[in-house]
A and B are shown apart, each in its own frame.
Chain A
Amino acid sequence: MKNLVLGSILLLLLGSCSFTVFNGYWHNGQHSGEKPVSWFRHDTGVVVFNTTIDMMKRHFSGLMLIKPLPDDAYRVVFITEVGLKIFDMEFTRSEVIIHYFMEAMNKRALVNTLTRDIGLVLMREHTQAPEALYEKSSHAPVIKYRENGRRNYYSLNEQGETNKIVQAGFLLNKVKADFYSAGNNRVDSISIVHYHMNLFINLSRISNTAGNAEE
């Protein structure tokens, strides 16, 4: 009886998780050499997104500015609509430099999570060798990288653009980022969802043309 209860609990827990052991990807044999390319490499100026961050019971909204820099680096600034700066970070190939983080939000766990999420969607180049996979359901090509104990799966569309990234830990999927584009090599919106944490980030592109918000 005891084993039955424990087994039921275990099944319930397992059923509520997003597993990576059977993650829906198959190996593709030889790698084609294709690599995911950051959506922001096509932009020459600053890309501005209307952004909401919902975390636990807290809600933040504002503008996220992403500026590509030389050497595969990016500057990312988040300000509220009324102009208050929340954070200012620089993502280089090897590190994240925090130029400013608002005191009220400057908690280590939060900073780490946000830098990891933003770093994921910036898609800086990986130094490790990629593995070629494909999705069982759609047969879409998937590129897999290992990074700091996590695995990143980049799903590519027919144009070779990344439309989804799933980041997984040892057993469980951690984060999913979906990219939506209406074409022209530009991303129009991004949705970031955590599988096991109440954290949602949504970015909707406003503009990167002069006159509104841009460089």
Chain B
Amino acid sequence: MKRITELFCIIVLLPALNLMSQVPVRPMKDVAGFKTRLNSMSATISTIESDFVQEKNLSVLANKIISRGHFCFKKENNIRWEYMQPYKYLIIINKDKIFIKEESNQKQYDIQSNRMFQEMNKFISGCIQGDILKNDKEYNVGYFEDDKYFFVKLVPVSEKIRQMLNEVQIWFDRNDLTVSRIQMIESGGDYTRIDFTGKKLNTDIPVEKFSFR
């Protein structure tokens, strides 16, 4: 419960994003204090709603692939990622089920039946709730900061995972500890960056948002 609440804190308040072009390199002074604040913040949050901009940077392309959408989270473990531009694509994670809807196709999967979905769910919810920071068996976690952000860097321990995902970076706003950006860097240097904007905390998100029809 507490962990889930942390999740909320992470994505909630999304700050000015244009200041995040540089990665903070100063080691975090008070890691324990940061974790404690994150726990207490997450305890107060039941829902998170936010717009997002996803940027995919491939070395083969000169420009980035940019997609936009809307994100919702509701306790317990209900997540909705809705891509709106330039394509429509919807992912709903509802406890142990995952739903995927494309323009002409929709499917439902049992998360437990598919290793890939298990990992995907663990990763998404872990990033949102902050649980991923506690996973020091699977990730080497580094803590940094600058004047505006707490910055956490996670490097997968497994060589096999590192072949796919080299590093995960999470930016937390210093003021409210909400997640401002998640960046996933692949082994070849290509990366996916997700910036969260226009967030709303503890709004009444209908349960229907997390059902699949």
Contacts and interface: CB of A to CB of B under 8 A. Distances in A.
A79 B56 contact: yes
A156 B81 CA distance: 42
Contacts of B102: 50, 52, 61
A100 B190 CA distance: 12
A197 B156 CA distance: 37
Interface residues of B, number: 32
Contact of B56 (A67, A75, A83, A102): A83
Nearest to B61: A215
A99 B59 CA distance: 12
Given A48-B65, A81-B89, A88 B60 contact: yes
A67 B60 contact: yes
B105 A63 contact: no
Interface string B61-96: 111011100000000000001010111010100000
Contacts of B56: 79, 83
Contacts of A99: 188
A210 B65 contact: no
Interface string B32-69: 00000000000000000000001010101111011100
Contacts of A213: 65-67, 86
A82 B81 contact: yes
A77 B116 contact: no
A145 B85 CA distance: 40
B176 interface: no
Interface string A42-83: 000010101010000001010101010000000101010111
Interface in A72-112: 75, 77, 79, 81-85, 88, 99-100, 102-104
Interface in B11-36: none
Which bucket holds chain A's interface residue count?
20 to 34
B192 A82 contact: yes
B105 A61 contact: yes
Nearest to B190: A85
Contacts, number: 76
A206 B61 contact: no
B25 to A, nearest CB: 25
A211 interface: yes
A88 B187 CA distance: 13
A83 B66 contact: no
A210 B89 contact: no
B213 interface: no
B54 A83 contact: yes
B163 A103 contact: yes
Residue picked from A50, A52, A82, A84, most chain B C-beta under 10 Å:
A82
B204 interface: no
Nearest to A59: B107
Nearest to B90: A81
Contacts of B208: none
A214 interface: yes
Contact of B86 (A82, A103, A206): A206
Contacts of B67: 81, 212-213
Contact of A207 (B60, B62, B86): B86
B83 A83 contact: no
Residue picked from B89, B91, B107, B184, most chain A C-beta under 10 Å:
B89
A50 B87 contact: yes
A82 B58 CA distance: 14
Closest 9 A/B residue pairs (Cβ): A83-B192, A212-B86, A213-B65, A81-B89, A215-B62, A83-B56, A215-B63, A215-B61, A75-B60
Interface of A: 46, 48, 50, 52, 59, 61, 63, 65, 67, 75, 77, 79, 81-85, 88, 99-100, 102-104, 204, 206-207, 210-215
Given A83-B192, A206-B87, 7 more contacts: A46-B61, A67-B60, A77-B58, A81-B89, A212-B66, A212-B86, A214-B65
